[in-house]
Structure 1
């Protein structure tokens, strides 16, 4: 059976300032910025994130502005995303463009990797606006799903990279 896709409205950086749902988080990563970036654009991006089942890059390498991917959540929700910013090695930002549920009106996510005394600093921002009727329960969805998923994605990166260094086949 074919999936039904629901359009998600175009969004850009302005959503970070106006979204009803917003998260920002940073973590020190004891690896070089190049290694951290490689983990964030690799094929196993979803492997350490609770709530994510699979991430599939749908554009060929090398990636850049216009790159697309699909992400499937454990809930069965699949999002199609398009990158509108790609600064190789340092920053990438996407907007969701379609989903298999009409939950999102607009959604953007931003990743920044910078050198730091510990190796690198990974900073992340996520902003979303939900469609009705989901917007009426947005606080609960945020508290029990969006926020924990974001925390596990950001906070889990250093441990994932350390495990990969110990066992490159993991």
Structure 2
């Protein structure tokens, strides 16, 4: 049986100012900007993000504007994304384009990596608008799924990088 895909209206940065669902988080990472960027553009993201089973880049490297990927989540939910901003080594932003469930009307996610005295700072923003009837469940969905997934994605990065760094030096 073929997978049914539901379109998601592409959005841009303006969604961060208007979306009812919005999260922003920052984490300090004791690794260089280059190492942090490599982790965020690698294949290992699904290993530290709660609920994420697999990330598949569907565009060839080198990545840039127009790059696409698929994110498979628990519960047989897959999201397709297209990057509308790609500033190599420092920033990338995508809009979701379709999903296997008609949950989202719009979804945008932004990643920024900046140097600090002790490594790098990873800033993340996520904004979404839900379709009906999902919009009526916005509070519980955010509390039990969207917010914890976002926290694990951001807060799990330093530990993931430390485990990879330790493995590389053994």
Length-normalised TM-score, structure 1:
0.98
Aligned pair count reads: 169
5 Å-filtered alignment, 1:83-102, equals 83-102=83-102
Q: Take 1:119 and 1:78, find their aligned partners in 2: how far apart are those partners? A: 33
- Return the offset for 1:65: 0.0
Q: Which runs of 5+ in 1 are unaligned?
A: none
Give the match for residue 131 of structure 2: 131
Q: Take 1:101 and 1:110, find their aligned partners in 2: how far apart are those partners? A: 22
Length-normalised TM-score, structure 2:
0.98
Give the match for residue 159 of structure 2: 159
- Return the offset for 1:76: 1.2
Deviations 1:34-81 (A, max 9, x none): 000000000111110011000000000000000000000012110000
Q: Is 1:108 aligned with 2:108?
A: yes
Deviations 1:125-145 (A, max 9, x none): 000000000000101000000
Q: Is 1:10 aligned with 2:3?
A: no
Over the aligned positions, Cα root-mean-square deviation in angstroms equals 1.0
- Return the offset for 1:4: 0.1
5 Å-filtered alignment, 1:9-158, equals 9-158=9-158
After superposing on structure 2, the runs of 4+ consecutive aligned residues of structure 1 that deviate more than 4 Å are: none
SS in structure 1 at match of 2:93: strand
Q: Take 2:109 and 2:15, find their aligned partners in 1: how far apart are those partners? A: 10
